[in-house]
Structure 1
């Protein structure tokens, strides 16, 4: 477990006779390496070594528990090769730290057989190919599919039914979701599975997390639900892996080598020959590429079912009389026709959701005269205004008693963006007597009861409306404001992220037959808006994929990003032996919103990004070339910390 690219290979050690019983493959060890004791895992026991020199001895067996199973070890090696990383870094993501007291506890007895209450999966009948997919998983085959959930679908309940069907056939399941809220919903839906289902998430303490992880390793749990790293869980007789909403940025791994759970699931499905379901309300170009290649197939509902379950979708279209009658429709933040729809829903005792892209009060300020972005004088971070009128830096927290424009010298400021708190304040005045709830990253509400209320929420923090006795729940009206924040981003995935957000909003609304409406305050002519109006995420993903194939962007190609100072990037490029026909883009300044590589830099350090691009068929060659370059770099003059990412989540 060295984490060094030039030492990323197994090493042979001798096993003492006293350690023979405990030194089993997968066990944790302590070995002496280069004069110091380091952590290690035992991969295999061999009769003899190919090394002709003198071998050292294992210092001690830390634990005989075989925590690194052969399947997980093979997966970690493949992930490291795929992402140009080291196996030890991947193992740290896959195997949690040891908790000795928990490890000494007796293993739970295997759970009794589970009886599927709905072996026909009747609620999945609306999706073409779903029942055949479930039957193939239960039969021990390895089908792969992309499931497109319809609007208003109770996706945790559907996944719980599929998980139960798989467990009843005697196979294990791993389900990966983006965040804790999704995990709580799925865990509640899987409650009938009892103790055979465990959850793994970052919020658990080391004891609880390790106990649940051991339950899966020892066969006491058939189902593991969790966030990113749960995709590595050592589930026995694995039959199905589910990844929900793979486009959510919460699934982007912040630690090297930055593997995405979707790609890890694809590798594991292939290696262990288990089923794979990539599911969501929207669809990414990466998933569509798997379907287009024939590696996975569609599990989608007929258009008639989608129309029946979907909300009415409105955008800014002059030909629509509801919209065109308002002459200020493109100037107002919330135009008059949207107010009318919200008032109609509130009068019908139904909640209204207002989606705002930024939290806070006034999260971004600028000069009132020349429109220059207002910046902190200490760290050059963006300035924001609180409800009490105070101005402070969003980065360092410094309070500015006076703000002066660095360009024109003006002391007058204006709001560049309006946050959720200010929006809630304004709407509270417009709809007097109506309760107003704010849900954002700082204070989030997961569920709300039905009834008339205004909910102002940021992306990912929208509460779910609980169903009533005679009511399926859902918002009467959902309004997406400040849509420019999604569409004006200079990033490859800007439109895809906008589509994902708006499809998710529409899924929270009631069906059109019940008065449900989604209002997108963006021009109706924009392709992504048209896709939401038609409610056709599959066609939109296919269009995105076709454009990327034509332009040579992921997933049509494999792209790697190298981030660091100008000197570090230049020295690294000199060490890379690229495959034939590889392209180089840049270097350019690091895109806005991308964190600099981890390391000790000065306060005025400037960072660059260089992109390598090769055909998808040569992706492993590029990853190998990057790994070798990092190994050479570790033994010579490196120029400072550097970050290497294969298929980075942000490509500016």
Structure 2
């Protein structure tokens, strides 16, 4: 074997983001294989690392090279494809290779690693019935491209009544029948369970692996090893599964790419959609961006010609979508009115709910926030009600065991404010900004006497509900699937979603509404959706017409005109004023680079001495790589100088404010 090992050491400093050469002792000549975990001495300390390669010579004289201290495991945990992908992702997001490898390779579990590897699953037969894809004019063509092994890139907009786990399983089965691997990434564990069950029904349990954080370290590593060793060809999982080391990948799928669960909260903060786009490009595999709605990023993939759309015609949409009614009134004022029940549920919503319940179907009620009354304002001047102790937001926690209302309390420190008075105007009156799920369930229980009321959200998320009369109050993203579909859905407090100070507020609101409305029966079967929002707004119109593609086009055009992602590459840098000033001094921006800010974040630094600020940095998309390289170089200078104040850098973040 070659005598030099190139090692990625586990040292998260930007100026040390490169491989280091070590001599391989004779006793490790056969076990220090590329991809294995090792221990090396670095800067006087023993640190972990991955062997990236074995080479014959080094630019460093042999007398100055240290030896590998230990081979932790001869298991090649890091495959060459994932190592290349991690480097690309790190460069795209101005991060370090070791940070990406922490996301890509789970921690080692010795007992799971010591188990004998399972035999590779046999290549399955292609599925027989794929007629459901015929409802989409390009659906069968896309499956034919997958069967032929072509790198077909598509954005699929599923019909409202679509059994989307079954369709994804069929696409996976088509690719698995060719002997290639498949990775399907979904937002949460409930989606993992549904897609995994659909894949097992077609491919058998041995050929499919489900990966999610809730498995525990031992079981998760055991399943991950099964994929790495080639025992399974199809992987279904959440965010981290985007790096699953399937052999010879042929298809990558992301479902509902607008869900913020696809955005990694750890450095360097990559998004699953971008990771899979890069991986499909590197491996020549197919990509499917799927969902009930379309994001501006997906619209850009279509506009640039990198991907093609797979959508049904308007006749099929009208036949499968529920009837949507919008209540075009001053909903913010209505939601805050003391006559809470009548204001929040207009007569149209009551009628739709009663009809569905009488037909024996459950009714879905979506509210933006969980809790009882999660936000309060002054009843006179509308100033936010805040705690006198820590300035946190006040909320009503609900009622006590004896049925009496509890006094307002701080959501941060828990201090009760029984004698609140507004510091701005002196008023003692309080008003609700938005009503939470528990308060809504309480109101509906009084309005629909004798009907079961169930809640889903927070720590108690329901997976399914039976096909019998019930009111299901849910927060966005926690809607359970109803057997046979809901008879009606009431989408309340639309102003609370649309009024958020967020670039993606309209897109995210439409996504949440559409996800809930897709659980409702078609209009031909009496399905009804009532959305409490102004019907003249673009997201409401897109929901009424069931045309997310039109709305995604509007979003992309608006962001292009204003210079916001995805039309441009944009980075945010957060830190103290001194740290940001130092970063900007070292930053060598591309020609089109523009710095916006700084603006205060309203956060105090860890040492409590300075307020944190944020700057926005943007360039045209063609100079996105140059921006990432410039930010990485500036960070490297700061870490080399051992600057005390950290600066957090994120490229193309989900939130900009």
Shorter-chain TM-score above 0.5:
yes
Q: Which residue of 1 aligns with 2:208?
A: 197
Offset, 1:413: 2.1
Offset, 1:510: 0.6
Map 1:413-452; keep pairs closer than 5 Å. Answer: 413-452=430-469
Q: Over residues 314-365 of structure 1, what are the superposed CA-to-partner deviations in whole Å (9 max), with x where a residue is unaligned?
A: 11359xxxxxxxxx99992211121111111111111111110011111111
Q: Which residue of 1 aligns with 2:639?
A: 634
Q: 2:219 aligns with which of 208, 221, 237?
A: 208
Distance across 1 between alignment mates of 2:571 and 2:111:
42
Q: Over residues 23-60 of structure 1, what are the superposed CA-to-partner deviations in whole Å (9 max), with x where a residue is unaligned?
A: 11001111111111111111111111122472111111
Q: Which residue of 2 aligns with 1:470?
A: none
Map 1:153-192; keep pairs closer than 5 Å. Answer: 153-192=162-201
Q: 1:498 aligns with which of 509, 531, 541?
A: 509
Call closer, same or farther: CA 1:199–1:48 in 2, change over 3 Å. same
Q: 1:577 aligns with which of 588, 594, 604?
A: 588
The yes-or-no answer on 1:56 pairing with 2:66 is: yes
Distance across 1 between alignment mates of 2:610 and 2:525:
56
SS in 1 for 2:270: coil
SS in 2 for 1:611: strand
Q: Which residue of 2 aligns with 1:126?
A: 135
CA contact (8 A) 1:572 1:638 kept: no
CA contact (8 A) 1:138 1:171 kept: no
Distance across 2 between alignment mates of 1:329 and 1:633:
55
Q: 2:269 aligns with which of 258, 262, 265?
A: 258
CA-based RMSD of the aligned residues comes to: 1.8
The yes-or-no answer on 1:334 pairing with 2:345 is: yes
Q: 1:359 aligns with which of 367, 370, 375?
A: 370
**Range 609-618 or range 377-386, more displaced:** 377-386
Q: Which residue of 2 aligns with 1:644?
A: 649
Offset, 1:414: 2.4
CA contact (8 A) 1:481 1:520 kept: yes
Q: 1:12 aligns with which of 12, 21, 45?
A: 21
Q: Over residues 353-392 of structure 1, what are the superposed CA-to-partner deviations in whole Å (9 max), with x where a residue is unaligned?
A: 1110011111111222222211122221111112222322
Q: Over residues 417-457 of structure 1, what are the superposed CA-to-partner deviations in whole Å (9 max), with x where a residue is unaligned?
A: 11011111111111111111111113211100111111111
Offset, 1:283: 0.7
Q: Which residue of 2 aligns with 1:309?
A: 320
Call closer, same or farther: CA 1:209–1:186 in 2, change over 3 Å. same
The yes-or-no answer on 1:459 pairing with 2:470 is: no
Q: Which runs of 5+ in 1 are unaligned?
A: 319-327, 467-472
CA contact (8 A) 1:366 1:374 kept: yes
Q: 2:304 aligns with which of 277, 293, 304?
A: 293
SS in 1 for 2:509: helix
CA contact (8 A) 2:341 2:443 kept: no
Aligned length: 630
Distance across 2 between alignment mates of 1:103 and 1:204:
16
Q: Which residue of 2 aligns with 1:22?
A: 31
Q: Over residues 375-416 of structure 1, what are the superposed CA-to-partner deviations in whole Å (9 max), with x where a residue is unaligned?
A: 122221111112222322212223334323222333332222
Offset, 1:128: 2.1
Q: Over residues 511-547 of structure 1, what are the superposed CA-to-partner deviations in whole Å (9 max), with x where a residue is unaligned?
A: 0111111111111111111111111111111111111
Q: Which residue of 2 aligns with 1:77?
A: 87
Call closer, same or farther: CA 1:640–1:524 in 2, change over 3 Å. same
Q: Which residue of 2 aligns with 1:280?
A: 291
Distance across 1 between alignment mates of 2:111 and 2:461:
35
Distance across 2 between alignment mates of 1:330 and 1:608:
42
Offset, 1:78: 0.2
Call closer, same or farther: CA 1:380–1:110 in 2, change over 3 Å. same
Distance across 2 between alignment mates of 1:228 and 1:42:
25
SS in 1 for 2:182: strand
Offset, 1:605: 4.8
Q: TM-score, normalised by structure 2?
A: 0.93
Q: Which residue of 1 aligns with 2:115?
A: 105
Q: 1:33 aligns with which of 36, 39, 42?
A: 42
Q: 1:609 aligns with which of 614, 619, 627?
A: 614
Offset, 1:135: 2.0
Q: Over residues 299-325 of structure 1, what are the superposed CA-to-partner deviations in whole Å (9 max), with x where a residue is unaligned?
A: 11111111100011111359xxxxxxx
Q: 1:233 aligns with which of 227, 244, 249?
A: 244
Distance across 1 between alignment mates of 2:343 and 2:427:
27
**Range 577-586 or range 206-215, more displaced:** 577-586
SS in 2 for 1:58: coil
Distance across 2 between alignment mates of 1:401 and 1:144:
59
CA contact (8 A) 2:510 2:543 kept: yes
CA contact (8 A) 1:143 1:274 kept: yes
SS in 2 for 1:56: coil
The yes-or-no answer on 1:600 pairing with 2:606 is: yes
CA contact (8 A) 2:146 2:174 kept: no
CA contact (8 A) 2:454 2:473 kept: yes
Offset, 1:610: 0.3
Distance across 1 between alignment mates of 2:654 and 2:644:
25
SS in 1 for 2:55: coil
SS in 1 for 2:19: coil
Q: 2:538 aligns with which of 518, 527, 533?
A: 527
The yes-or-no answer on 1:242 pairing with 2:253 is: yes
CA contact (8 A) 1:505 1:518 kept: no
Offset, 1:635: 2.2
CA contact (8 A) 1:315 1:524 kept: yes
The yes-or-no answer on 1:350 pairing with 2:350 is: no
Distance across 2 between alignment mates of 1:147 and 1:287:
10
CA contact (8 A) 1:567 1:639 kept: no
Distance across 2 between alignment mates of 1:646 and 1:117:
41
Q: Which residue of 1 aligns with 2:75?
A: 65
